[in-house]
Amino acid sequence: MASIKALAAKIFASRVFRNTQKWSRNPEATQQKVFTQLIQKAKNTDFGRDHHFDQIQSFEDFSKQVPIRDYEQLKDYVEKVVKGQSDILWPGKPLYFAKTSGTTSGAKYIPLTKESMPFHIQAARDAILHYIHETGHADFVNGKMIFLQGSPELEEKNGIKLGRLSGIVAHYVPKYLQKNRLPSLETNCIEDWETKVDAIVKETIQETMTVISGIPSWVQMYFEKLRQQSGKPVGELFKDFNLFIYGGVNYEPYRAKFENLIGRKVDSIELFPASEGFFAYQDSQQEKGMLLLLNSGIFYEFVKADEFFTENPKRHTIGEVALGVNYVMIISTNAGLWAYNIGDTVQFTSLKPYRVIVSGRIKHFISAFGEHVIGKEVESALQEAMEHTEIRVNEFTVAPQINPQKGLPYHEWFIEFENRPDDIEDFALKIDAAMRKQNTYYDDLISGSVLRTLVISQVPKNGFQEYMKSIGKLGGQNKIPRLSNDRKIVEELANGIIR
């Protein structure tokens, strides 16, 4: 018999689902309303005055007056906010800064305001409620839930608290979930990732875990330690564990390894959160992609990725996008980010409603020879090559080898196998065939003898973890780029390659 808590969750889920239907069936009107509210609210800020928000009547006006910017180009405004000044990007001061590690500028400070913060919490909640509404499964609300995340300890800078996004969000766990939630605050505050995972294992190994959430690469580390200590598959240890919630990376390359560690299949929900906003979540177990949140204080623009670096590329609103095109996603938000390039590329899998998959990063691609290879393509190719085999991969990244010692250039795949193939060269050919099928530029370069077929270099067990540890990015929200256009990352990995 269902508990009162589970029944209440089903009723709440039904209400949230109906509300989602209202705005998702009117996407353009929903986005227009968000756009108008953002412009009106921010017109008397420094940014609003500098960009003549009082004269903006339409998206066309906005796109003429507000250029696309990344963090570096918005930094002068952000630094004023960091110094404690008010009404710079958004009225007043932010509640928090989400502190992230920038690639070129050291730490990045992303503002979170009293208007934007609730949407981060609501989106994560609604993702679970949509799952309950669709499947009818709600008993997990009675068990223990774990969210692998950054430390909730916050610093303060000029009267504004700052920390990692996941640590900030930890302060907003609803009261009805707090009794069910693990790990303890003390454990969550441990900074060293390996020490933290050991403490989490100790706290959870005897519990009735029903929901586990985190970035797949770091949850995998937790599962491996659980299995080492208990001698059992995770699914046998936690008999009621049936829901895995993740974000940050594509789960598919990890799925076979996870099912082996768990010992059975479990449902999963994909999320698309970032410090800059919570953009989408998987609203259906049946449909591909995540529902783009058009009603969450974020106005979206999309620029075709292959046009992004041209002068004045066309900026598309939600009503102008097409299926299967690789777009750079640009956002304006109620945290004061304006025509902001978050760096992610997306593809639409559905236009009714608008659902997306994250296809990669605009900076993470390989086009050393004009091939325009993106993250989604390498992940799909690896997945296809592993189908119907016992091969399992822990982690991988891809880089071009432009100056080989002999022969033609090639793409080099650095793979850490859990179960390696008997024939590495045959496996490489299968990945290569899948790549050629997906990417005509790559196919042309192979056919035209500009490139030779890809080469696999085997990374030893825990090689990627050791690399992340060496650069101070083990755990938390940090993840290995799937591919890069240079060899900076792989040069570090190359020292331990298995030949």
pLDDT, tens digit, for every residue of 456-492?
A: 999 998 888 888 888 777 766 667 888 887 788 888 7
* Amino acid 105: pLDDT: 47
pLDDT tens sequence across 238-266: 999 999 999 877 787 778 889 999 999 99
pLDDT at position 207 over 50: yes
Cα 26 to Cα 47: distance, rounded to the nearest angstrom: 30
Q: Which residue has the higher pLDDT, 158 or 363?
A: 158
Identify which of 374, 113, 139 has the alpha carbon closest to the alpha carbon of residue 241: 139
pLDDT tens sequence across 60-82: 999 999 999 999 899 999 999 99
* 89 close to 77: Cβ distance less than 8 angstroms: yes
* Amino acid 495: pLDDT: 67
pLDDT at position 335 over 90: yes
Cα 274 to Cα 247: distance, rounded to the nearest angstrom: 9
* All structural domains of the chain: 1-293 (3.40.50.980), 365-496 (3.30.300)
* Amino acid 412: pLDDT: 94
Cα angle: 293, vertex 81, 42; to 5 degrees:
50
Sign of CA dihedral 314, 77, 124, 198: positive
Q: How would you label 262-292 residue by residue, b for 16+ Cβ within 10 Å and e otherwise?
A: beeebebbbbbbbbbbbbbbbbbeeeebbbb
pLDDT tens sequence across 109-147: 999 999 999 999 999 999 999 999 999 999 998 899 988
Any idea which residue has 């589970």 for tokens?
A: 6
Q: Mean pLDDT across the stretch 283-305?
A: 96
Cα 181 to Cα 186: distance, rounded to the nearest angstrom: 13
pLDDT at position 270 over 90: yes
